[in-house]
Structure 1
């Protein structure tokens, strides 16, 4: 609202010679960095109060795993407040409302819808787990997997449909493949000022294929982040790195000159999402203050589903779904380990009469934990892998 208020008062400020006081609000990079700092500060201020409120109402997590050794290792987590994702989502939305163009920019509108819808589904799932465990000790069932997936797929399809309609330009509907040029090379600096020419061989998606890819990216990333949130600081730290990378990709996508220079899709309006990505990175950074080992609070499905869905939405909006696979490599490794473990167990039970496992326990971070790595080692090493994968993803932008 501050940005929109600045626009509304621009004439009045010009008449009084005060416009220089607010000119910085027109700089996207400033607003994105300010959103980071504001959401970081908001989480640090409201975090302790919300954590105390959650603890007083016994909104705590008592995870149960199908592995006795892992249950012993994770005993210290019992009773830790969950649903901390409301802190992250709250700070993210407040910072976005204050510093982004929330009145005119459709990409911001859809981003807010993604956060709210996925947070509601995640919050309902967390609440069911809590209330059922209180009514029947030892029972910790939230939404059924198919119910949660149905919501995610449905929301993903709706967001993909409206995102296609919001992205009116030809460039916004291309399939951005690795190392493929979206535009023809610009022979000189002067030609950067002219509209770029689309390179031959570029695939342009129709509304059906675009919506399907959007659904897979949004629902898939939402699930992947949810599966990663099993150790103190693991999902939070990885999300910080991923959202900072998305800030770069969104800035490039929203800048026609930068997109033309790097020969990647230019999607007018997506630059404003850089503010939202900055708010997400800042909110996660503030949350990590309380979520690092030993954690005082967990984000729960409330946070992991919403933030994962938003990360996938960012990638679809700037046409970087393939790079999302690299930047979010740890997330998809975690999700893949569960799919592989479950599929192999079912297949081996039919084939040999007894289920067999690929990993000691899935998701894969528990495999390493049971293998002798300390929890902090798993977390920091996964962060480092994410940093390396993110650097590879960003460097690949120039390899066209």
Structure 2
């Protein structure tokens, strides 16, 4: 709203109104505003949650060998994140932008889905929360909406990057098509001068390969949104873990969105030029600011938990951002922590079921998701269960585990960005 107001005032020569046209100004202002809102509103909201006794009911106080009790800590703190993201975006963003609209829809949709899950856990005293099938349906639905809107929206276009060889046969010059078009191409990490085209994958469909490619793209969108939101949800098991990792991932995605919206940077990095994706930078800066502000209260020992309201929303935002800028195939690297956390749960369940069929109690690691295995003492292990990996033998403090996971995510984010030049 403020963007349109000051752009209007610029016509009358009002001093300073022109700066609202700069994406860097609005993005950094969105980050600062989101951080302030998250910190200020967070304090008020935490007091309200405590007053209403809206607390997490299934936290295991015995899991922390250092004596920090997690019972009675307010939950549903994801509402703080959602408010801190949406307010700056609505004030500073260009609301006619298709990508910004998609991000707002994703935030509200998954925030509601996670909030419903937390509501059932807290107010209905049901530790299972929303049945898993309804969560999956909700995640598939938003993936379908995003995929279809990108398919049908006339504003969701790209300028394809083309490599043109110079006369000396030693250097490639990257140019972009002059006209933006609908495209099914996405960036592949580590591969020089090549974009994967979903339509080419479906070339066996003959003249229907483009339509089949769009169907494959929508399916991929559903898979990515579901996988990343669930991964973020599993990563939200320690104070500050998910918020810190997500803020780092948000920085990397913000860089990708910015260079994708700048034709010269896009040419230098040999990636697609995506007109309009600069508004995604405003959203992601608000996302980063909200997470940093939330860490003020969520860092160890946490004064509030984000709950599924926050973790599902965070995962959805990361997934849809990557899809919009055609970088979804980089998420396994960028979101490596989420991927490993999810994989640890899948393998743990699979190995346990395999043992059940043989009449054996067995586990791969001490506890899943992976971060929990570092804070389980040998005394807490079930002597009747056979563990493949019992390391580490010594328990690691929760805050140290969290910071080490942050460091890994920083390295993965750097590697993801480097892949563009490694090509």
Aligned equivalents of 1:373, 1:64: Cα separation in 2: 19
Matching residue of 1:234 = 241
Equivalent pairs counted in the alignment come to 378
Matching residue of 1:111 = 103
Matching residue of 1:70 = 63
Contact 2:198 2:217 in 1 (8 A): no
1:50 aligns with 2:45: yes
Uncovered stretches (5+) of structure 1, i.e. residues with no partner: 134-138, 175-181
Contact 1:85 1:301 in 2 (8 A): yes
C-alpha distance after superposition, 1:313-355 (max 9, x if no partner) = 00000011122221211111111111111111112211x2124
Matching residue of 1:38 = 33
Contact 2:115 2:309 in 1 (8 A): yes
Aligned equivalents of 2:276, 2:335: Cα separation in 1: 24
Q: How does 1:214-233 map to 2 (within 5 A)?
A: 214-233=221-240
Matching residue of 2:420 = 397
1:160 aligns with 2:153: no
* Cα distance change on mapping 1:368 and 1:200 into 2, 3 Å: closer
- C-alpha displacement at 1:23, in angstroms? 1.4
Any idea what SS the aligned residue of 1:45 has? helix
C-alpha distance after superposition, 1:136-166 (max 9, x if no partner) = xxx5121111221111112211211112223
- C-alpha displacement at 1:64, in angstroms? 4.6
Aligned equivalents of 1:190, 1:391: Cα separation in 2: 25
Aligned equivalents of 2:154, 2:36: Cα separation in 1: 33
Any idea what SS the aligned residue of 1:183 has? strand
* Cα distance change on mapping 1:132 and 1:93 into 2, 3 Å: same
* Cα distance change on mapping 1:74 and 1:320 into 2, 3 Å: farther
More helix by share: 1
Contact 1:156 1:214 in 2 (8 A): yes
C-alpha distance after superposition, 1:252-305 (max 9, x if no partner) = 121222212211122221121010000000000000000001110011111111
Contact 1:167 1:267 in 2 (8 A): no
Aligned equivalents of 1:343, 1:29: Cα separation in 2: 47
C-alpha distance after superposition, 1:108-154 (max 9, x if no partner) = 11100000000001001001000232xxxxx5121111221111112
Specify which of 357, 360, 365 is matched with residue 363 of structure 2. 357
1:332 aligns with 2:339: yes
Aligned equivalents of 1:109, 1:192: Cα separation in 2: 29
1:148 aligns with 2:141: no
Matching residue of 1:178 = none
Matching residue of 2:9 = 9
Matching residue of 1:257 = 264
* Cα distance change on mapping 1:56 and 1:208 into 2, 3 Å: same
Aligned equivalents of 1:391, 1:64: Cα separation in 2: 34
Specify which of 279, 294, 297 is matched with residue 286 of structure 2. 279
Bigger drift between 317-326 and 163-172 goes to 163-172
C-alpha distance after superposition, 1:162-213 (max 9, x if no partner) = 12223656647x8xxxxxxx53157599975874999677424421011111
The TM-score, its normalising length taken from structure 2, stands at 0.84
Uncovered stretches (5+) of structure 2, i.e. residues with no partner: 186-192, 200-212, 377-391
Any idea what SS the aligned residue of 2:234 has? helix
Aligned equivalents of 2:420, 2:102: Cα separation in 1: 26
Bigger drift between 188-197 and 307-316 goes to 188-197
Contact 2:77 2:310 in 1 (8 A): yes
Task: Give RMSD over aligned pairs.
Answer: 2.5
Any idea what SS the aligned residue of 1:184 has? strand
Aligned equivalents of 1:78, 1:191: Cα separation in 2: 57
* Cα distance change on mapping 1:84 and 1:167 into 2, 3 Å: farther
Contact 1:185 1:261 in 2 (8 A): no
Aligned equivalents of 1:101, 1:235: Cα separation in 2: 29
Bigger drift between 244-253 and 274-283 goes to 244-253
